[in-house]
Amino acid sequence: MTLSDLAALGSFVSGVAILVSLVFLYFQLRQVYAQIRLAERNQQATIQQDRYGRVFEVNLAMTEPTLADAVAKGTVGARDLSPTQFTQFRAYCSARFQISENTFLQHKAGLLNDEAFAAFLNGFVAAFHAPSIRVMWKWQRPFHAAKFAAFVDALVEKTPLVKPVDLAAQWDADLVAEEARVTR
């Protein structure tokens, strides 16, 4: 074998080696991308779980009788709130607005999908049917980011005011309707 034959064989072997290393690199990159996608999904799940945890904590706090009374009275716009009830209602609204702002920011950052954000909006918008929630928003608006405040202002603008519903009476009516469907 001549020197030029050895050089040609060396070039061929190095070409094959480069090709093999590119194939290995391709598979490694696929694996890295899969790991990145999995990490992103885990991060989104953690963020969503944390958001639901905060909502759960607010809802669980509502089982405390004095807070439940304060929020019930505040939501319907009762004029006989005690100073303590007023403070409780204001703190409840503040917590809801802060959680809502965080949800809004997560969605804007791409950390919360459109479906979860739409589900959040259903309840958030419904709150603004009540005049008392609108008043609380006016008072607390300055403490929120400008983009969130503008977003909420637009929601409030297009959400009609609705007379507060007596939930206990609605509960009774719905139970009667369901019980009427029971076959004996």
- Whether residue 129 contacts residue 162, with contact meaning beta carbons closer than 8 Å, is answered with yes
pLDDT value, residue 98: 94
Average pLDDT over residues 172-183: 90
pLDDT value, residue 13: 83
Q: What is the mean pLDDT of the chain?
A: 89
Choose among 76, 112, 78, 70: nearest CA to 95: 70
Query: Where in the sequence is the domain holding 24, given as residue range(s)?
Result: 1-61
pLDDT value, residue 101: 95
Residues 166 and 101 in one domain: yes
Residues 70 and 101 in one domain: yes
pLDDT value, residue 5: 78
Q: Structurally, how many domains does the chain consist of?
A: 2
Residues 89 and 8 in one domain: no
Residues 31 and 74 in one domain: no
pLDDT value, residue 184: 63
Given 61, 79, 105, the domain boundary residue is: 61
Q: Is the pLDDT of residue 20 over 80?
A: yes
Residues 169 and 181 in one domain: yes
Residues 55 and 80 in one domain: no
Q: How confident is the model at residue 49 (pLDDT cuts 50, 70, 90)?
A: confident
pLDDT value, residue 104: 95
Q: Is the pLDDT of residue 77 over 70?
A: yes
- In angstroms, rounded to a whole number, what is the distance separating the alpha carbons of residues 97 and 91? 10
Q: Left (φ > 0), alpha (ψ -120 to 50) or beta: where does 136 sit?
A: alpha
Q: Of 78-82, 146-150, 164-168, 174-178, which gets the smallest average pLDDT? A: 164-168
By residue count, the chain amounts to 184
Given 9, 32, 61, the domain boundary residue is: 61
Of the chain, the percentage scoring pLDDT greater than 70 comes to: 99
DSSP string of the chain, one letter each residue:
--HHHHHHHHHHHHHHHHHHHHHHHHHHHHHHHHHHHHHHHHHHHHHHHHHHHHHHHHHHHTTSHHHHHHHHHHHTT-S---HHHHHHHHHHHHHHHHHHHHHHHHHHTTSS-HHHHHHHHHHHHHHTTSHHHHHHHHHHGGGS-HHHHHHHHHHHHHSPP-PPP-HHHHHHHHHHHHHHT---
Residues 68 and 54 in one domain: no
Q: Is the pLDDT of residue 137 over 90?
A: yes
Residues 82 and 54 in one domain: no
Choose among 111, 103, 15: nearest CA to 52: 103
Residues 87 and 164 in one domain: yes
Residues 49 and 70 in one domain: no
pLDDT value, residue 19: 87
